Chains A and B, each alone.
Chain A
Amino acid sequence: MIDRIIIDGLAFALPLFAMAIGGIFSEKSGITMLALEGIQGFGAFCGALVFAYLSPLVAGGPRVIVYPVILAAMLGGMLFSLLHAFMSIRFRVNQVVSGVVVNILAMSLTIFLTGLVNEGLTGEASNKIWLGAAPRFNVPGLSSIPVLGAVFREVYIFSPFIIVFAVISVVLLYRTRFGLRLRACGENPQSVEAAGVSVKQTRYIALMLCGLLTGLGGMNFAYTFSANFSPTIYMGYGYLAIAALICGNWDIRNTFLTCLIFGFARSGGYQLILKLGMSSDLSDLFLMIPYVLTLLLLLFFSRHNHPPSALGADYEYDRR
């Protein structure tokens, strides 16, 4: 049972973490990011689309196709985060409004296109693109360690990608000149401009990074939790990721911990319900746990942490 809690908990925490890192890049550069929900959905849609068109063509099954699928999801996420960037940087739309616009547009666009694509592929306007079971693997050697070995057992193919990207992100954000400038854009953009660096350009790059990571997270959720792309992808994962990064005080390392808490609370609650043998109607109440937990965590953390000072502020280099 403890094995299952660890395996399922990590399977939920890691995609959430990928999206939260994306959100941190954006918010640290000073752009309020409420669009994670739509970006991850659009990324997952692009990945599912590539899967649907490639799977009849490519031999080797999901273990081969998954790489172009991941690439497509990341690029798709980047496309939609650029829409948010365009609206909030170029047109200076209120960033909260812009985020919600991106979410609603992504949701309606992907659901409409899914119907259209299915009509073309199968002749039926279904709202699901089937993906099948996601490939999993055991890490040889490490997975046979008693309790902790569960971390390396039944690992989804997405997880190593997310961990590598997370390490790269930590180095990029806290150990490079670019990372320093990106964080300065969120604290005091005028000083960045005065140092001769373009704030807008830095923010565009930050949002592209955000889209790449968020698309990866969205694809992971679609592939591993529902085995299809359907409107259920809009379950609020993006908002959970935002809550995770707020509780993590906009710091990648702390956010990893809050994501783990979310993941283990979810899998632990589920195993508890299974163990007590409760009725399936109660599963609705158990699905509520992450959202209640998020609210409670926000109550404790929102007052004491420090969002970037220039977050969400309308910025134009020639005005103060």
Chain B
Amino acid sequence: MTGQEKEKRSFRIPSSRFLIPLGSVVLTFAVLILIFVLIGRNPFTAIYSFFQGSGLGLKPSYVKSSNMLTDFLSYLGIMAPMLLGSLAVVVGLRGGLFNIGVSGQMLLSGFLGTILVGYSTLPPVLAMPLIFLIGLASGAVLGGLIGWLKYRFNVHEVVSSIMFNYIVSFLTGYFIKTKYVDPIIRSSKQVLPNARLNVTLVTQAGLKLVIPIGFFIALAMAFLIRFYLDRTAGGFEIRMVGFNREGAAYAGLPIRSVMVKSMVISGALAGLAGVVYYMGYYSTIVPKDLPALGFDAIAVALLGNLGPVSCIFSSALITIFQKGAVYMSSTTGVVREIASLVTGVLLLFSSLGVSVRERTHHYD
């Protein structure tokens, strides 16, 4: 490769890195507008209401004790598990493994955190770190088990993680229904306030500000994972195995244990997402209900080009649809499932985009 060609290449890659996700977002919005037009709604007020519901636009009226800021804090609260879940998918995929069991790992860690710490009277200073530790550990064990099954018995990680999703869902559902149920809301008893991963401030005007601790953890994790993947030997090994398994083996890497390692990290992140989701944003677990967020996280990771820091932006975007769907549904009367549809369409375009980008790399 001559110097001139090299210059050309280094110019082209960053452009495709930003243009392709941007293109998938634009196409998705086009599809969204088309859907709203087809079912006879004004697309622009409908799309704006997604933003209003996420605290990114002023609603015409608010109930007492809330305003745009409280909506926005709640939006950050649900963005946190989305970001953590997408980081779990990123670490797996960078190592060549597809962790589609994020929702099962979330449910397990949320359940264990709830029953072990959620009903205790520990002060928040002790309870919070303990909950995070339980989340990390339980997710890491389940993720590592999936990796180990691949390592030891060659069980495809997608099939085994789906099986674990259902097993965890039925098992926790059984225990919640028989031991921890709140008969009125038909889900697990509410986590006590001292074990919730939030700091609540009440202002003089009577505003209730719920500041989600998980959001800051998630942001820190995004940068930490980027540092780990890009700047440490362990992260380099994971990327090497993911990029070219045969090449990594030829270079003398123990590829199988590296694969288990990436599943342990991925599971730990998913476990963290679980406690943030069930003990921060919500405070109760619906039995036998796998969080759809675990699957949305795949879309976030692909849209973010599998870059940990880019996932901050893509999770911010996808959370707008998920969080704003309730308000959009109440103002326009369109079923809120449209949010999942938008996520699905975005996932379709961004996975096509990933393949287009890979090919431009090949031919450069």
Residues of A with Cβ closer than 8 Å to B?
A: 34, 87, 91-94, 96-98, 100-101, 104-105, 107-109, 111-112, 115-116, 125, 235-236, 239, 242-243, 246, 281-282, 284-285, 287-288, 291-292, 294-295, 298-299, 302-303
- A303 contacts across to B, CB distance below 8 A: 153-154
Complex CA gap A15/B164 in Å reads 23
Tell me, in angstroms, the Cα distance from A76 to B154 when the chains sit together.
33
Contacts of A101 in B (CB 8 A): 344, 347-348, 351
* B351 touching A93, Cβ below 8 Å: yes
Q: Looking at the complex, which one of B153, B298, B347, B348 makes contact with A299 (CB distance below 8 Å)?
A: B153
The 8 A-B residue pairs with the shortest CB-CB distance, nearest first, are A108-B340, A115-B335, A105-B344, A108-B344, A288-B170, A93-B355, A108-B341, A284-B174
Interface centre among B163, B302, B352 (most CB of A within 10 A): B163
Q: Are A93's CB and B341's CB within 8 A? A: no
- Complex CA gap A172/B345 in Å reads 36
Per the bound structure, the CA–CA distance linking A101 and B98 in Å amounts to 12
Distance from B84 Cβ to chain A, minimum over Cβ atoms (Å): 19
State the main secondary structure of chain B at its contact with A. Answer: helix
Chain A residues in 8 Å Cβ range of B159: 239, 242-243, 246, 294, 298
Q: Which residues of A contact B299 (CB under 8 A)?
A: 104
User: Given A104-B347, A284-B170: A91 and B352 within 8 A (CB)?
Assistant: yes
Q: Per-residue CB proximity of B341-364 to A under 8 Å, as 1/0?
A: 101110110011011100100000
Q: Which residues of B contact A111 (CB under 8 A)?
A: 337, 340
When the two chains form their complex, are residues A291 and B166 in contact, meaning their CB atoms are under 8 A apart? yes
Whether the pair A93, B354 counts as a contact (CB closer than 8 A) is yes
Q: Report which of A96, A291, A299 forms a contact with B98, defined as CB distance below 8 A.
A: A96
Best-buried of B160, B177, B288, B299 by chain A (most CB within 10 Å): B160
A105 touches B348 (CB 8 A): yes
Whole-angstrom distance between the Cβ of A53 and the nearest chain B Cβ:
18
**Cβ 8 A contact of A295, one of B160, B174, B177:** B160
Select one of B153, B170, B355 contacting A298, CB under 8 A.
B153
- B344/A104 in contact, CB under 8 A: yes
Q: A108-B340, A288-B171, A294-B159 are in contact. List 6 more A-B contacts (CB 8 A).
A: A87-B351, A97-B351, A100-B158, A107-B344, A108-B344, A111-B337
Q: A295 to B155, alpha carbons, bound, how many Å?
A: 8
- B249 interface residue per 8 A CB criterion: no
**Bound form: Cα–Cα A105–B100 in Å:** 15
Measured CB to CB, the closest approach of chain A to B146, in angstroms, equals 10
Q: How far is A108 from B359 in the complex, measured between Cα atoms in Å? A: 29
Contacts of B335 in A (CB 8 A): 112, 115-116, 125
Query: In the docked arrangement, what's the CA distance between A98 and B298, Å?
Result: 12
From A295, which residue of chain B is reached at the shortest CB distance?
B163
Q: How far is the CB of B142 from chain A (nearest CB, A)?
A: 13
Task: Find the B residue at minimum CB distance from A296.
Answer: B163
| Beta-carbon contact of A243 and B352 below 8 Å | no
Alpha-carbon gap, A246 to B158, bound state (A):
13
Are A112 and B341 also in contact (CB < 8 A) when A92-B355, A105-B347, A288-B171 are?
Answer: yes
Q: Which of B171, B343, B355 contacts A94 (CB 8 A)?
A: B355
B340 & A91 in contact (Cβ 8 Å cutoff): no
Q: Once bound together, how far apart are the Cα atoms of A91 and B352, in whole Å?
A: 7
Instruction: Give the distance in Å from the alpha carbon of A284 to the alpha carbon of B177 in the complex.
Output: 10
Task: Write the chain B residue with the least CB distance to A106.
Answer: B344
Nearest chain A CB to B247's CB is how many angstroms away? 15
Residues from chain B with a CB closer than 8 A to the CB of A242 are: 159
Closest chain B CB from A96 CB (angstroms): 5
Contacts of B344 in A (CB 8 A): 101, 104-105, 107-109
Q: Which chain A residues lie closer than 8 Å to B356 at the CB level? A: 91
List of B residues within 8 angstroms of A112 by Cβ: 335, 337-338, 340-341
A292 to B347, CA, bound (A): 30
Residue of A with least CB distance to B100: A100
B149 interfacial by beta-carbon distance below 8 Å: yes
Query: Do A285 and B341 touch (CB < 8 A)?
Result: no
Output the least CB separation between B357 and chain A (Å).
Answer: 11
Q: How far is the CA of A107 from the CA of B299 in the complex (A)?
A: 14
User: Does the CB pair B170–A287 fall under 8 Å?
Assistant: yes
**B156 contacts A by Cβ under 8 Å:** yes
Q: Which of B268-311 contact A (CB under 8 A)?
A: 288, 295, 298-299, 302
Q: Which of A94, A115, A282, A292 contacts B337 (CB 8 A)?
A: A115
